[in-house]
Amino acid sequence: MIFIYNILISLYSFSVRLACVFNPKARFFVKGRKNIFKNINKQIDKSQQIIWFHCASLGEFEQGRPVIEALKQKHPQYKILLTFFSPSGYEIRKNYAGADYIFYLPIDTKRNATKFIKLINPQVVFFVKYEFWYHYLNVLQKKKIPVYIFSAIFRKDQLFFKWYGGFYRKMLQKFDFLFVQNKESKELLNSININNVEITGDTRFDRVYSIASQAKTIPVIEAFKQGKTTIIAGSTWKPDEELLIKFINSENNNDLKYIIAPHEIFTENIERIEKSINKKAIRYSQADEKNVLESQVIIIDNIGMLSSLYKYGDIAYIGGGFGKGIHNVLEAATFGLPLFFGTNYKQFNEAVQLVSLKAAFVINNYSSLKNKFKALLTSKMLIKNTGEIAKKYIVSNLGATSKIVTKCEKKLAQK
């Protein structure tokens, strides 16, 4: 099986290089790994003790961040080395101040893994949620370097739990400890004799709670809101926007305000949204505290504001539910907002739970959106009470970071 695995890794690497011609993400993937070992050797101080964190992409980084920052604070003698597999993680967080070194992870070959681990010589290693790379795990195990995975979640349809998944089960056996999100994950691992497991929950709850406590004040949005009920649509795609805009255009309530933060902010998409709205709308980049007063809709044409924008909302619509899957619901829930999203949400445990708690509502079509919005908008107290259910859900799931750090501290203290 290792032979097949190596062939698949080689084919993947080759296909990404071919894709460089027409795919910008592939270009970043390849360019970022050019001279990677030379760059690592140049930057790393061999006298320093290193904790290595690996994240697949941006979402996993957000899960890893609370643990990175907690360990950095408790053990300042260690340097943090952070790696990403995907450009969508590395390119956005390559200047993250919480890490001392940030690199792309070299492709998982035996040679690369051996060379990389020899260069960085980590004392402890953390993988976040996903990413199971055989050669890296194998070298770490041989060198007796402790390696953990946290915020991990497992499903019975994964290869680990198939009759032919022996090779993949061997990867799991190479972790010193697995911190999982839920009972089902623990039971699945126990069923294949992986018993060094603890349910600690999802560190994203700690992260979004921290974000909420540090939310920025945005004067233009404060002026725009004017104390009125505000619906925030975050990370929306075209199918989401078409439903929302139909509601905006048909609704004659001037006491409602709308903030639309589309997932795609290229000029043509922003123009499409603008043209389809028949209410007074303005782009955030063109707004100031005076001209925004006349607008009922503000379109966010930048990246990075959404988590702070939820502070000004009363109701949140989370985009992506009519495509591959909904975006982050926890960021809105931590501000105590009732949530709405499309039908593709069931692979997200937190969304399923929020629906069951009646803090979130599933939209099937325009009629569904209109009726459910209208039902909630009948009472500010109803909005408030529903949002409080969402906030309590967040608070009840805090604490994963401290559990993980406490469990690992003995190992760090021994180093």
pLDDT in tens, 145-196: 999 999 999 999 999 999 999 999 999 999 999 999 999 999 999 999 999 9
How high is the pLDDT of residue 185?
Answer: 96
**By the 8 A CB rule, do 363 and 321 touch?**
yes
* Topology of the domain covering 214-396: Rossmann fold (3.40.50)
Under the banding of pLDDT at 50, 70 and 90, the label for residue 262 is very high
- For 367, half-sphere exposure in the C-beta direction (CA atoms, 13 angstrom radius) is 0
Query: Between the CA of residue 21 and those of 16, 104, 165, 396, what are the distances in Å?
Result: 10, 20, 35, 48
* pLDDT(143) > 70: yes
Q: Is the torsion defined by CA of 223, 227, 229, 232 positive or negative?
A: positive
Average the pLDDT over 365-370 and give the result: 96
Under the banding of pLDDT at 50, 70 and 90, the label for residue 347 is confident
In single-letter form, the type of residue at position 211 comes to I
In single-letter form, the type of residue at position 248 comes to I
Q: What angle do CA 122, 33, 60 make, to 5 degrees?
A: 60
Cα 306 from Cα 301, distance rounded (Å): 11
How high is the pLDDT of residue 413?
Answer: 64
Please name which of 405, 408, 403 lies closest in space to residue 176, comparing C-alpha atoms: 408
**By the 8 A CB rule, do 415 and 124 touch?**
yes
**By the 8 A CB rule, do 315 and 337 touch?**
yes
Burial grade of 29 (CB within 10 A; 0-12, 13-18, 19 or more)? buried
Q: β-strands 360-362, 315-318: how paired? A: unpaired
Q: β-strands 229-236, 177-180: how paired? A: unpaired
Q: Is the torsion defined by CA of 157, 158, 161, 163 positive or negative?
A: positive
Q: β-strands 101-104, 78-84: how paired? A: parallel
Query: Between the CA of residue 17 and those of 7, 13, 31, 46, 61, what are the distances in Å?
Result: 15, 6, 10, 32, 25
Cα 378 from Cα 381, distance rounded (Å): 9
Mean pLDDT of the chain: 94
How high is the pLDDT of residue 161?
Answer: 95
In single-letter form, the type of residue at position 326 comes to I
Under the banding of pLDDT at 50, 70 and 90, the label for residue 131 is confident
In single-letter form, the type of residue at position 339 comes to L
Domain with CATH 3.40.50.2000 in the chain: 214-396
DSSP letters for 17-47: HHHTTT-HHHHHHHHTTTTHHHHHHHH--TT
Average the pLDDT over 25-42 and give the result: 93
Cα 9 from Cα 16, distance rounded (Å): 11
Write out the H or E segment, with its range, that includes residue 51: strand 49-55
pLDDT > 70 fraction of the chain, expressed in percent and rounded: 99
Domain with CATH 3.40.50.11720 in the chain: 20-201+399-414
How high is the pLDDT of residue 409?
Answer: 79
Cα 399 from Cα 409, distance rounded (Å): 16
Please name which of 26, 5, 38 lies closest in space to residue 109, comparing C-alpha atoms: 5
* pLDDT(415) > 70: no
| pLDDT tens sequence across 208-250 | 999 888 888 999 999 999 999 999 999 999 999 999 999 999 9
Q: Which CATH number fits domain 20-201+399-414: 3.40.50.11720, 3.90.1170.50, 3.40.140.10, 3.30.420.40?
A: 3.40.50.11720
Cα 299 from Cα 234, distance rounded (Å): 11
How high is the pLDDT of residue 414?
Answer: 59
* pLDDT(21) > 90: no
**Maximal C-alpha separation, the chain:** 68
pTM, two decimal places: 0.87
Under the banding of pLDDT at 50, 70 and 90, the label for residue 46 is confident
Q: β-strands 256-262, 297-299: how paired? A: parallel
Average the pLDDT over 32-58 and give the result: 93
Average the pLDDT over 93-120 and give the result: 96
Look up residue 120 and give its two tokens.
């960085």
How high is the pLDDT of residue 411?
Answer: 67
